[in-house]
Amino acid sequence: MSKAIQRESDGKQSDGKLRLVLVEDYKLIRIGIRMVLDADNAFQVVGEGESGEQALALVKQHQPDLLLLDLGLPDMDGLQLTREIRKFNQTTKILILTSHETEDSVIMALAAGANGYCLKDIVSERLVEVVKSVCEGALWLDPRVASRALQVFAQGGNKRALTRHLALTDREREVLRFIVEGMSNSQIAKALDISLHTSKAHVCSILQKLSVQDRMQAAVKAVQHALL
């Protein structure tokens, strides 16, 4: 197995840039993603790997702001790897970057502790936006897989779960859908033409009513229980 690529010394901060680790077993794809990220001055790719073992070592060493992770690694499933990372690191954001479009993969990735799910055919400019958004705390799902996952659970007829959460207002359900789509509070405020304060208030109310601690848990619960 090849050695993980270290891009800076032992995880030290570099000019306030967002520090990223990239793990992808196909070298050409990894090079392409790295070129996109290196072109933006907000980022610094501090390490690269091609296996789950390397990913664990790089996250432990660098404690990066974000890990871009492929699901199909040769030695460890990306979902299993995400669960392993969450056992010792709750702060590094994990963005799944994959070609897998199945609804189950989306749900399992979120349940494992991922902060975003992105398909590899995303355009480079959008990928940069998504990485920044996830680093800022948003949960981001590719709209294509998010909508299909919601449809699957809705078709499953999980009505009792829906009934338990009828306390959500129409506006709160609208905000919740934006949360599932990975929008930040400011983006939600702009989309709904409301103040940032009001947007934050809606999000806080949603978290309280769903008995969850953060936006990611709210999004997972929304998808798992077909609340939208």
DSSP state string for 62-124: H--SEEEE-SB-SSSBHHHHHHHHHHH-SSSEEEEEES---HHHHHHHHHHT-SEEEETT--H
Domain count, the chain: 2
List the structure tokens of 215: 């936006």
Same domain flag for 199 and 117: no
pLDDT at residue 65 is higher than 60: yes
Whether 28 maps to a domain, the answer reads: yes
pLDDT at residue 84 is higher than 60: yes
Q: What percentage of the chain reaches a pLDDT higher than 70?
A: 83
pLDDT tens, position by position, 88-121: 999 999 999 998 877 778 877 887 889 899 999 9
Predicted local confidence at residue 141, as pLDDT: 84
pLDDT at residue 12 is higher than 50: no
pTM for this one?
A: 0.68
Same domain flag for 113 and 88: yes
Predicted local confidence at residue 7, as pLDDT: 59
Of the three residues 112, 137, 162, the one that is the final residue of a domain is 137
Give residue 183's domain range.
147-224
With beta carbons less than 8 A apart as the criterion, state whether 52 and 76 touch. yes
pLDDT tens, position by position, 155-200: 554 444 444 444 788 899 899 989 888 888 999 999 999 999 999 9
Same domain flag for 20 and 126: yes
18-32, 157-171, 211-225: least confident range:
157-171
Of the three residues 116, 137, 158, the one that is the final residue of a domain is 137
The mean per-residue pLDDT over the stretch 216-225 comes to 76
pLDDT at residue 147 is higher than 60: yes
Of the three residues 137, 165, 198, the one that is the final residue of a domain is 137
Same domain flag for 183 and 81: no
Same domain flag for 122 and 170: no
pLDDT at residue 10 is higher than 70: no
List the structure tokens of 204: 């806080």
List the structure tokens of 53: 């073992």
| Average pLDDT of the residues of the chain | 84
What torsion, rounded to 10 degrees, do the Cα atoms 192, 197, 198, 199 define?
50
Q: Between vectors from CA 116 to CA 114 and to CA 118, what angle results, nearest 5°?
A: 125
Whether 142 maps to a domain, the answer reads: no
Predicted local confidence at residue 154, as pLDDT: 53
- Element (DSSP H or E) covering residue 79: helix 78-88
Predicted local confidence at residue 200, as pLDDT: 93
What CATH number should be reported for the domain holding residue 97? 3.40.50.2300
Predicted local confidence at residue 132, as pLDDT: 94
